[in-house]
Structure 1
């Protein structure tokens, strides 16, 4: 089966740039793009609904034509579809139809507020699908495949899930250099010898063997600032965050650190789902 990405789009220029970037990322693996627009039917009074309903099929047809035109402007094979359903149901339908390696979407700080978009769309999609999610901030202007990738992980053990490990061939196709940043608070006490090597163990199953990561440790209290500083110092053109239900990602969203990172991050961000130690398929690292 030909690999695919699902890109959640609207008719904005930012959404088209995100779709183009996703196309570039998957081009060497001949990834096919599925552009999915989730149309939310507006809540109308009964009188307005009576007038608007006859025009709805034409509106949907016009939207499908516009998104198909967007698909035809991309550098890889792509198709477009408009789904009329709540976001959660539409994403599940898209996954069942296309079996994507990852989902992608653009992020605009002005679109109803970045925090609102993250909490009400991004995080529910990630939790519901357990699929990798590529976020392309509107301010980022990626011009090609990433050459330097920064991977940020916290100080707790994790195991990458099957959907994340399935991205290994994709990451290898970029021929990029990968660096690993461990986020650890200064108040965490004396670090045990070899702990970072153990924490990096799961990443060896994902990152290309030809591009070993260089350890980047930061003990700053301001997590968002530490991550953004590491992106600048490593000259990264893609940031990867490891996402777990009740650990790194959960804390980031609840404390708005992810919102801070995405609001100021000059590069796209790839969220990779992982399993926490209390999940059934977690295997602790060998000592």
Structure 2
């Protein structure tokens, strides 16, 4: 991770626009179809929340397909104009920036600079999904920051989140205030139906415990009507995807526990398997550090039910 206070180097598009104080949504973009859908979805979210959008391109991600007609130098030269055109096309206040540096070193400085309420990036479903996510490296931010991440599949509909499915794992959890605040903005803005899904333990015991854990997590403010689903499945991800389909869910919310982020193979987790197959946006909320006091004894990654990364 980068050094505290390190300023990422911007090139090509100086941010000269002066916007009033607004919440910020940062879209990590690479001009791919998935990134295009993420940009459009971010605008749909930002508009009712009164937020501005920053389109952020990392110059180190400039990789060309084998059939490209431009050289990398030409792409680099024309990229600022292309990004600015995308920003001008947005229906909400939007600026564009290009970061010339290393993502792993600069992401904390980027978050410090923009203080985003949400990071958004496109979700590409590939056979080597683990490698694709490592290339994006956005999920690394959940190790060290409290900023939620929205992953938007290229095939996702630009539909408001009127039906939200929250996946829980049967263990107590807490959500940092910024992440909980964003989730409550979603609830208050769109007043969605909220379904809680748990695929661990017996239904009789799990329903009461899961709902109590959600209420105690800090995720909800005030009264919120919840429904509970406990599908009987052989694999947790199958249950999550089944409920998402049956509820006609338009947004899936999952909690990323830090102990698994720091630990084992991501591609073996439930989250990765869900992300390979989802067609709706997924909101990943980081779990707060306080979970360590309530999570119980450590478990091997293979035994963890994760809506955990």
TM-score (norm. length: structure 1): 0.81
Matching residue within 202, 215, 220 for 2:233: 220
2:38 is matched with: 18
TM-superposed deviation, 1:185: 4.6
Using the TM superposition, name which of 152-161 and 92-101 deviates more.
92-101
Matching residue within 190, 193, 196 for 2:210: 196
Q: What is the CA–CA distance in structure 2 between the aligned matches of 1:72 and 1:173, rounded to whole Å?
A: 25
Q: What is the CA–CA distance in structure 2 between the aligned matches of 1:105 and 1:116, rounded to whole Å?
A: 15
TM-superposed deviation, 1:208: 6.2
TM-superposed deviation, 1:139: 2.5
- Which runs of structure 1 show a deviation greater than 6 angstroms over 4 or more consecutive aligned residues? 248-252
1:143 aligns with 2:143: no
Matching residue within 26, 32, 48 for 1:6: 26
1:239 is matched with: 252
Matching residue within 113, 117, 126 for 2:128: 113
1:132 is matched with: 148
* Contiguous gaps of at least 5 residues in structure 1: 44-51
Matching residue within 173, 176, 179 for 1:164: 179
TM-score (norm. length: structure 2): 0.76
CA contact under 8 A between 1:185 and 1:220: conserved in structure 2? no
CA contact under 8 A between 2:23 and 2:51: conserved in structure 1? yes
Q: What is the CA–CA distance in structure 2 between the aligned matches of 1:249 and 1:201, rounded to whole Å?
A: 26
1:238–1:99 CA distance, 2 compared to 1 (3 A): same
CA contact under 8 A between 1:178 and 1:207: conserved in structure 2? no
Q: Once superposed, what is the RMSD of the aligned Cα atoms?
A: 3.1
CA contact under 8 A between 1:160 and 1:202: conserved in structure 2? no
CA offsets, 1:48-82, max 9 Å, x none? Answer: xxxx9xx96x7545212111111111111111100
CA contact under 8 A between 1:137 and 1:263: conserved in structure 2? no
TM-superposed deviation, 1:182: 1.8
* Contiguous gaps of at least 5 residues in structure 2: 1-20, 64-70, 297-309
CA contact under 8 A between 1:9 and 1:37: conserved in structure 2? yes
1:76 is matched with: 92
CA contact under 8 A between 2:120 and 2:150: conserved in structure 1? yes
1:41–1:114 CA distance, 2 compared to 1 (3 A): closer
Q: What is the CA–CA distance in structure 2 between the aligned matches of 1:191 and 1:248, rounded to whole Å?
A: 28
